[in-house]
Structure 1
């Protein structure tokens, strides 16, 4: 029986088993197969299959709960919860407790019980089938996905060859030595890179990994570490451990932890967090054999990726990012580089398309370099070296590093490598008795402590600005510090690289300049500079805020005893996420404008995680983790205020 309550021009009446229409007044209650449709018809006035504060419905809907009793949901939050529960349960058996659940508690529960699973992928048969449907593969000929496999991984080669019989994939064996020239030659044949496979119960399975979400449907470098923080909190150590296993596979087979496991990222790494990941997994598993294997690989990465003189190790003794690819980055959208290429094309009397194609052909050796572009070749090569390096840094893009990325010794990178050296020292001492052998060398605790102390002194010399009272990047080419205040200034607190005095100066000088309504901004407005049609907004600058910056700032402040400041920042960030989720049908996107405390970010690439219908199935990887981590640190009285949605400005000066 269909049970409908109608409101008609100032009065209401109940009809059972009858049909009636009421002009301009929608139904506010229905029980039956059309409950979802009735709810949307009444409350989703803009037709986007969500219920948000922008909908103009009556904001009141009555239905029978799972106990058969009438329940009235009121307001955007409760109504959007009804919508979500209908989709989750695929029935009308709704527990009214889930409708009125405290918002922060609900978000946390959804992340733990639904979103991590929604973001989990594998590189076995089931996972590959999903990747074939990835939007980034839509242009592939006949929808056949190339799967690139390391030269020596015979298990993977044979496995994917067999899958070719049932799935639209093509197995490509990489050469024994993967050069930048080779990577450029396959840019027009993009595909996925294999990750760790293993045998279990007679079957080959892929080590699972968590993706960021949306169009980011592969395993990303530093995203994976921050996701693992949330996974461990939520009792998913299995996934965090598997991601470390995939890191190890990448280092042993591709030479580095990749930007992501796609073919065009083979020459590009990401911010290093491998030692933090294996240490935190080991703290849960106490598996010494597993740790020993990973520690050897981590030392190999440290020595061969980061500490090779003239590459990512500079003459200052500090490190830089340096993506070693050549030519135009293939993952950008059509027209992304038009503003850069147009002046050169005009000068050569060519169209942008002609100039771009001539440059590409010469880059991969398919043609002689056109005389008209020869004189600007070095200029363009240099531009793309810096552009690719921006992407290796994970901060793509920001005016802090644009056009100079490969010339910088960044604060954050050196803080991360200080953490590596400190982790090596700690694990060698606490687990392996003060000595550890790897790669035909024996390393002592004292050696790693010496490396860390050396970097700490160099950071003070090159990266700390005593007049400003905070850390900045150092330009190696110009031999001067960059006058740009960014959230990365707090990373030395995260890794304990800062002195006590430097930490005090940071809290005094950087904290008030970067603190906004929704947390720490990626930079100050002054450092970013003016925005115009010729100088558009960059997503890793003011006014936006990012999960890894918040997480590292919180932990860093707690490391140095600034608990009050950490609690304030945690609350501001969690309030912004919670408020937006309450108002916008559970939305948890990639990034936020922390100045306005909104997910409506107007910058390049859009905002992944906002495009869904009915319910978000995933949230966004490191945003989920930041919520779980922040909630685990937040004091109980502030958690109560968060669930009551008390604005931060009512709690903090």
Structure 2
């Protein structure tokens, strides 16, 4: 049934009647009538009733492309599971897609993080055709500058760029003469982020967004080729910092899904780039490869991370100001201007940048120690790089692959993987507790912390069956909350003065859920995987139903709310009428969860049946 509407008039009426909190949305916090009459195409009144259906009506009106149009009643009364899946596929991915074409360049450059008189777009000096393209596209914008940066940029040059930060160009298609699009996380994150892109890519693949998923891979490859690594994000001040390595997983899953559409030379090129990243980023001695022959995160550069808010490190600066017997504000400014040198504070910021490279920014687990850790998560991911490369060489290249004047067989990469596994067991496996822990190679001891990252070996198939059973039995229960997995356990004894961090208990994030679901399935823990999938999807659907279709960056999985005020708040929660694309990896986690969830749970999910009534805590 069609409901002909005047878009602006309908939105105004709904907001005036139902939005009592002034949020420009209709949620359970509003105290409106909770019912609204609207005429159908035959002139008969149709009653729309309840927060969920009224918010659907508001969203559908906002999504209309014309001033006047038809809304389908079936979309208003759509079951939550179906609706959430549909709008992600049909609307949200497009909302999160950016490019440097035409006015699209301003959509990327004009955001809250761009300061100064000019908006700057930096292009690698070797990418001559792209440079000319971007100059032409921005010629009409007097406040936009297109400038070049050198290949193999030095730390000194990166520091100099910090005085005039800008966006880094991504891939340009010479054949199509256009920039290749990319998907951003959402909200204030208006650029392409490293490990977000893999999880977003999974969602795109599930929704059969072939060209967009391929574009994401092309843009990641461009970063490796021109910037030396997959960046934290494509901003100039991230040039010294990578992200958790997922590139082989992305190309493997994409190629095996779309092998009928891709030539083998596509895979050959991407695999060559992945091997280049492996050697030149992760296996560089005294940078990210340590004397243990295991790896660490290491954010290069100096001083305070540029993306942080001005007051973010005030607590640390106050400690060091007291040490130097200098007023806090004076010490802070003089340190930033290199007028004061403090080796201990310099080391703190090395650890902080390394923590940010891990993607877990921030967590007490990595605070003031990250650069000294052979972490379980990073080494598990690199183990998967090694086994992925072995698999691809064996499966598609007749067990022989040439790279940099060397020819590799799958056996050589499996040997690398096996060596890493044995080193991880030697350094990280705790025999007494039968679990994995990060290893501090400076203190030469393990650093116990019950963290979801300790379960990464399940996802990468690194564990023995016995090790997997022990991890699932001894660590997993301490991480399970009503709304899914928390990043760390609430049982951890944090220092009394420890700052609340967004990657600690009680906060849960999409990538952790997705990795552990698959990890549990790898080892046959299907019932536990179904429980965790349901818990997380229930929290997403409950939030979308009660809060105008909202899909946020993260959740408090213990109290089951998106309304959190930790560190940077919760990205994706501020919008008018309809969410601006949800949040990238949360969208993707929903798509993957629905794909993996057994059909018998779908009705319970639509009814928002409490997960504790389906999966008692004792299980």
- Of 269, 274, 283, 2:242 maps to 269
Are residues 1:147 and 2:121 paired?
yes
TM-score (norm 2): 0.95
- Of 151, 161, 165, 2:135 maps to 161
Gaps of at least 5 residues in structure 2 are none
Are residues 1:464 and 2:429 paired?
yes
Aligned residues: 608
Separation in 2 of the partners of 1:198 and 1:498? 42
Which residue of the partner structure matches residue 55 of structure 1?
A: 30
What SS is found at the alignment partner of 1:442? Answer: strand
Separation in 2 of the partners of 1:443 and 1:66? 67
Are residues 1:344 and 2:320 paired?
yes
The Cα offsets for residues 366-392 of structure 1, whole Å up to 9 and x where unpaired, read as xxxx4xx34xx2112111111111110
Separation in 1 of the partners of 2:208 and 2:377? 29
Contact 2:123/2:147 (<8 A) preserved: yes
Which residue of the partner structure matches residue 92 of structure 2?
A: 115
Separation in 2 of the partners of 1:597 and 1:324? 37
Deviation of 1:467 (Å): 2.4
The Cα offsets for residues 137-192 of structure 1, whole Å up to 9 and x where unpaired, read as 1x321xx2111121211112222333342123212211344111211122121100
- Of 369, 373, 378, 1:404 maps to 369
Which residue of the partner structure matches residue 278 of structure 2?
A: 302
Separation in 2 of the partners of 1:360 and 1:594? 37
Deviation of 1:236 (Å): 0.5
The Cα offsets for residues 382-431 of structure 1, whole Å up to 9 and x where unpaired, read as 11111111110000000000000000011111111011001100000000
Which residue of the partner structure matches residue 302 of structure 2?
A: 326
Give the superposed CA RMSD. Answer: 1.8
Contact 2:152/2:227 (<8 A) preserved: no
Separation in 1 of the partners of 2:321 and 2:110? 36
Contact 1:503/1:560 (<8 A) preserved: yes
Which residue of the partner structure matches residue 620 of structure 1?
A: 583
Separation in 2 of the partners of 1:232 and 1:399? 34
- Of 611, 631, 641, 2:574 maps to 611
Contact 1:35/1:92 (<8 A) preserved: no
Deviation of 1:642 (Å): 0.6
Which residue of the partner structure matches residue 574 of structure 1?
A: 537
Would the alpha carbon gap of residues 530 and 382 (structure 1) be closer, same or farther in structure 2, given more than 3 Å must change? closer
Which residue of the partner structure matches residue 75 of structure 2?
A: 98
What SS is found at the alignment partner of 1:94? Answer: strand
- Of 12, 17, 21, 1:42 maps to 17
What SS is found at the alignment partner of 1:458? Answer: helix
Deviation of 1:441 (Å): 1.1
Which residue of the partner structure matches residue 244 of structure 1?
A: 217
Contact 1:65/1:94 (<8 A) preserved: no
What SS is found at the alignment partner of 1:125? Answer: coil
Which residue of the partner structure matches residue 71 of structure 1?
A: 46
Which residue of the partner structure matches residue 393 of structure 1?
A: 358
The Cα offsets for residues 350-369 of structure 1, whole Å up to 9 and x where unpaired, read as 4444433433333xxxxxxx
Are residues 1:633 and 2:600 paired?
no
Separation in 2 of the partners of 1:474 and 1:159? 48
Deviation of 1:348 (Å): 4.0
What SS is found at the alignment partner of 1:525? Answer: coil
Contact 1:399/1:528 (<8 A) preserved: no
What SS is found at the alignment partner of 1:269? Answer: coil
Deviation of 1:244 (Å): 0.9
Would the alpha carbon gap of residues 33 and 173 (structure 1) be closer, same or farther in structure 2, given more than 3 Å must change? closer
Which residue of the partner structure matches residue 186 of structure 1?
A: 161
Separation in 2 of the partners of 1:349 and 1:562? 57
Contact 2:186/2:580 (<8 A) preserved: no
Higher gyration radius (CA): 1
Separation in 2 of the partners of 1:504 and 1:610? 38
Separation in 2 of the partners of 1:164 and 1:583? 42
What SS is found at the alignment partner of 2:103? Answer: helix
Separation in 1 of the partners of 2:378 and 2:532? 23
Would the alpha carbon gap of residues 550 and 349 (structure 1) be closer, same or farther in structure 2, given more than 3 Å must change? same
What SS is found at the alignment partner of 1:93? Answer: strand
- Of 492, 500, 522, 2:457 maps to 492
